[in-house]
Amino acid sequence: MNVSPYRFSPVSSGQHPKKILWMSQHRPLPVQLDALRRLFGEADVQQDPRPFSSAEEIAERYRAGGYNDMVVVAPLSVIARLVDLGIKPLWCRMDQIKSAENADITYRGRHYKFNRFLRVKALRLEFEELP
């Protein structure tokens, strides 16, 4: 498996660090890793950049890896299905800004600044039939 680890600090007091799956082709930014450290203390963040075919496949990787939490970059329909499967992933809120000066990342000519992580508790997609 091609999973890149990001370890925050050595395990102390006999406790195991929280194990977080970073499900994205994009590596976590230092500011995002810092935020996870503030939220969870000791943590073992492992990136899985491999493509997936469904939410069920992501859930299988999550459960097989024994992860405690997950950050996922995926279509909203996939995230909604993960919630249906009992997984409440972390959402990485990135705000688009005008200037590269304060940006944490520039992607396809757009500048983004990390805001915070949010927990996805529910996601509802509502559709309307077209005539």
7-28 per-position pLDDT tens digit: 544 444 556 778 999 999 989 9
- Identify the pLDDT of residue 17: 79
Global pTM? 0.83
Closest of 58, 113, 100 to residue 82, by C-alpha: 58
Q: Tell me the CA distances in angstroms from 16 to 11, 22, 28, 108, one per residue in order.
A: 6, 18, 21, 39
- What is the distance between the alpha carbons of residues 97 and 94, in angstroms, rounded to a whole number? 9
